[in-house]
Structure formats: structure tokens, C-alpha cells
A and B are shown apart, each in its own frame.
Chain A
Amino acid sequence: MSILVIAEHDNSALKAETLKTVAAAQKIGGDITLLVVGFNCQNVVDAAAKVNGVSKVLAADNAVYEHQLAENISLLVTELASDYEHILATALTTGKNFMPRVAALLDVAQISDIIDVESSDTFVRPIYAGNAIATVQSLDSKKVITVRTTGFDSVATDGNAEVVTLGTVTDAGISSHVSDELTVSERPDLGAASVVISGGRGMQNGDNFKLLDGIADKLGAAIGASRAAVDAGFVPNDMQVGQTGKIVAPDLYIAVGISGAIQHLAGMKDSKVIVAINKDPEAPIFQVADYGIVADLFDALPELESKL
């Protein structure tokens, strides 16, 4: 069997999530090709060639792919699709955007957000915000799949795959990029960080999120937030951890002033170790926490920072 994996990147770096999507492809089993679609993305192509388990890297480097517009990428992937039984992308906003378009153009269903592979046609995925786990069989000859990376461990990066440059340029000509407004941060990406510290409504306002900075610096952590904190306007939405935000599974997750609504738990309950700091001993977050401390976060955070 042949599997096409579409690399997740920002034209300068290959995102760590790609290594997990390749791991999902390995679990399906077959010859794996990694496709890099972007512009001025040679660094990404170089990194892609080192991903273990990948036998070939296809590079489509052209200005029409700079912003990874779904209309243009989907045409390219559809054109390449005849050589592959499985087409995989990471279930982040880029993959979620273009993959269903690929599936419909190929006239097949998409299996979204898989967290495990049972066989080459049967996959496990969460439904109802993770409150139920479905095992789904694809009846189509070609499988279009997005991978929730929290279910898979990264493959190593000491491989050496052949790189093939694609000449094909697919421009649908119906959409264009206007602008990006990206959050600049010195910290690791939420999705890739091994430690995440998140604040909830208990933080009371956006300024108080600074209390998390010192701890995050010491632990090399990414900073997240609950939907309640986002809805209250404390912090931007791209910090949101939860069913409607980012799904994370770091080695250590520290929930500060977060009650533990179902929708938040869906975004972090696969973390290896969960710590909860909350002054309400009845907060549901304590039911999933490995270590809980009942304390006022305004006392606990400075003390924790000083003792790390």
C-alpha cells in the first residue's frame, strides 16, 4: 500500500505534529510519501527528508501555495491522489481546511481526527467532544484521513528520503490571501510543548496571566487558557485548550483556576501528568488531576515559581 502524508509547516519549519502523523501512517502500514506544499520552503523540504519511515518527499514550492489556500492545495493533492490508497494530514487548522475538499473532489468520505488505527480501513476517533469513542470503518477504496496527533508518538528524524520536485502548479484562482495577524511568542507552540500551563476564569483578568510567565519560563512551557478565560476576553482565542480550541497532550499539564468543564477536559485529558490548582475543592478538574492543590492561585503561583 502507498500512503501520502501532507506535511504541516509554515514555510520555514516543519511542525513537530507531522512526525506524529507519519507515526499514524506507519501504523496503517505501507510506503510513505511526504508532500511539502508551500513557497520558499526548502528548509521544510530538508527537514521532511530526515523524517524516519518516509521513503520519498514530494516538494511543491510555488507562490500559489504560499498561504496554503485550500482551493489550490486540494487541486494538487487530488491530482497526486491516484498513486495512493491513504491520504493523511494533521488535524490542525490547515489540514482541517483543505482535506474535506480533497475528499469531496475524490468522491470519498473523510475520517476526521483519528486517535488510533485498528487496521488499514478501520480507525478510532472521538465524537461528542470526546465523551464517546467511535470505531469507524471506511467503505471507500481511498481513505482520506486527518490525524489528531495526541494519539501517536513522534517518529525520529535521522532518515534520508529521496526528494522529488513537483512541477505541477494548481491555481484555482477563486481566492486570495489578504493578511495574517499571528501571535508572536517566544514560547513553544501549545501543540508541541512538553509542558503546558493554562489559566481559567479564576485568573480574573488578562493581566494576571503574567503570573504564569515566570513558571512557564522555568519549565519551558507553553501558556494556554480555558474557553471561559477566552470568552471573558482575558486572552486571545489561539490560546484556547479544549474541544473547540487546541487539543494537547503534554507530559505535564498545569491547570490554574480552571474548574474543568467537559469541553476543556476534552482538550487536555490525554496529558501524562495533570496538576490542578484551584481554591474550590469541589471543582471537577480535581477528578482528572494526578496532583491537586486546594489553594488561592494568587498565593500558590508565586510560591510555585520560587520553588521550581
Chain B
Amino acid sequence: MKVLVPIKRVIDYNVKVRVKADNSNVDLANTKMAINPFCEIAVEEAVRLKEAGTATEIIAISIGDKSCQEQLRTALALGADRAIQIETDESLDALNIAKLLQKIVEEEQPQLVILGKQSIDSDNNQTGQMLAALTGMPQGTFASEVKVDGDKVNVTREVDGGLQTVALNLPAIVTTDLRLNEPRYASLPNIMKAKRKPLVVKPAADFGIDLSARTKLLKVTPPAERQAGIIVESIDELVEKLKNEAKVIS
């Protein structure tokens, strides 16, 4: 079974993002970038399916400029077999990303597509569901467990109030939540090996899709800062303040 894993290059999750002075966007110049954490979990899950003998081939794919090849090499070092970069300098809406991925799904015919549930930059949580809609596949979003069983996959989902398990006909789309697995670190020999694994570059313009923007970013501002309050000396003082000053308890 072939598994397709779309991944995204984003700001490293340890780095605090700054808003540009002109409020046009966030400032990513000279910022440490990494594979989106949820995407890394997606790669790990695919690798585990291959180690279990369920998956036969893992294809990592990313959409962006040349710099995203770095994250594709990371995916190859973690265990993906080959990589595809769809090259574009534009920052595309999730819908257009899903349309490009749909073309690759048509070409490659994977049985399973595993994506991160959301990227930690735009926080949209859309691409997997949109790809599922466009390909007519069922979706198991926010997965904490994935079990392939014949021509179906059982996906346990993290939902409000607990867990829900659904059975999906294959081919299917899975999006990962945090507890699905703990990604491994790439070993040095595997990082060296990844440099020789195939990576194909396809210009986005070659797919014949209208990729014009559906949204316009008007401005980006820093969040309102909360003022630090006071340190109280005792529980008595705390209870008194909550009752009489803040009036949130009676």
C-alpha cells in the first residue's frame, strides 16, 4: 500500500514569532524553520505502517519554494522513500494546496494520505478535509490511533469530550493529532542516505489549476498584551479580592 504524506515548512515551534513594524505580516527573516510538528507525526505514522509491513512505499510531498526541499530531506531521513516538491513562490490558500495535492493523488493513487491536522503558522486546520472532499475520500481527522484492516482503516479521533472511532473505506485521508505517536530523530547515516533518495521538482504552473488567491491578508497585529496584576500575600487576601474587587465569586 502506497502512503502519501504532505508536509509543510513552518517556523520552528520554539521560536516566538514577531509581527513586522508595518503590520503587513509576521517577520520570518533569518528565522529558524522546521517541518510542521503535526506533519512530522504524519511522517512517523507512515514509517511505522511501513515497518509493520502495511505500507510498501512512502512519498513525501511539499508545496513551496526551493527551501522546502530541506524539510523533504528531513522526511526522507525519517524513512520516506521518495519526495515531490511542487514549486511555487506564492503563499497559497489551503484550497489551492488541496487542489494541487488532488492532482498528485490522481497520479500516484495512494491508499492512504496522512497529513498534520494543522500547521502551526496559519492554524487553519483545513487541507486534509479539503483534499478528502476533492478526492471523494472519507476522512479521519485528529487521529490518535490508525489501524488498517483489509480494505478499511479504523481511525480513533480526539473529539470534544473524549475519543471517537470511525471506520473508513480505503483509500482514505487521515490527519494527525498530537498523541498519535512520538516522532523519532533521524540518525546520521539516514540523513546521509536521504541525500541520495529521489526528489522530483514539479512547477505548480504545470498542473493547469487556477491558483489565484481566495483570501487577502489585510493586516497582522500583535495580540493585546494582558497587564500583569498583583501578587497577593495570602489565600485570605486572594479570596477577598476575588469577592470584592473582581466580583467573580460570591
Contact = CB atoms under 8 A, between A and B. Distances in A.
Interface of A: 10, 67, 69-71, 74, 92-94, 96-105, 107-113, 122, 125-140, 172, 174-183, 189, 191, 195, 219, 236-238, 243-244, 246, 251-252, 262, 269, 272-275, 281, 286-295, 300, 303-304, 307-308
B122 A178 contact: no
A97 B129 contact: yes
Contacts of A71: 132, 138-139
A139 B216 contact: yes
A207 to B, nearest CB: 21
B125 interface: yes
Contacts of B215: 109, 111, 136-139
B142 A127 contact: no
B232 interface: yes
Interface of B: 11, 16-17, 19, 26, 93-95, 98, 120-134, 136-139, 141-142, 144, 154, 157-169, 177-179, 213-223, 226, 228-236, 238-239, 241-242, 246, 248-249
Contacts of A93: 142, 157-160
Nearest to B216: A137
24 contacts: A70-B141, A93-B142, A96-B142, A100-B127, A101-B129, A112-B123, A128-B121, A131-B223, A137-B215, A140-B214, A174-B136, A177-B164, A183-B162, A189-B161, A191-B160, A252-B246, A273-B246, A273-B248, A275-B238, A290-B246, A291-B241, A292-B230, A295-B235, A304-B239
B133 A105 contact: yes
B139 A101 contact: yes
Most chain B CB inside 10 Å of its own CB: which residue of A102, A109, A128, A177: A128
A107 B51 CA distance: 38
A112 B124 contact: yes
Contacts of B222: 131-133
Contact of B235 (A10, A180, A269, A304): A304
Contacts of B132: 70-71, 101
Nearest to A105: B133
A138 B125 contact: no
A140 B177 CA distance: 30
Given A127-B26, A133-B223, A191-B160, 6 more contacts: A71-B138, A132-B19, A135-B220, A137-B216, A252-B249, A291-B246
Most chain A CB inside 10 Å of its own CB: which residue of B133, B142, B177: B133
A132 B220 contact: yes
A92 to B, nearest CB: 5
Nearest to A122: B218
Nearest to A236: B162
Nearest to A110: B126
Given A237-B179, A290-B229, A181 B142 contact: no
A181 B120 contact: no
A294 B235 CA distance: 10
Nearest to B130: A104
A94 to B, nearest CB: 7
A288 B228 contact: yes
A134 B157 CA distance: 29
A175 B168 contact: yes
A272 B248 contact: yes
A234 B135 CA distance: 40
A292 B213 contact: no
A54 B122 CA distance: 32
Contacts of B122: 127
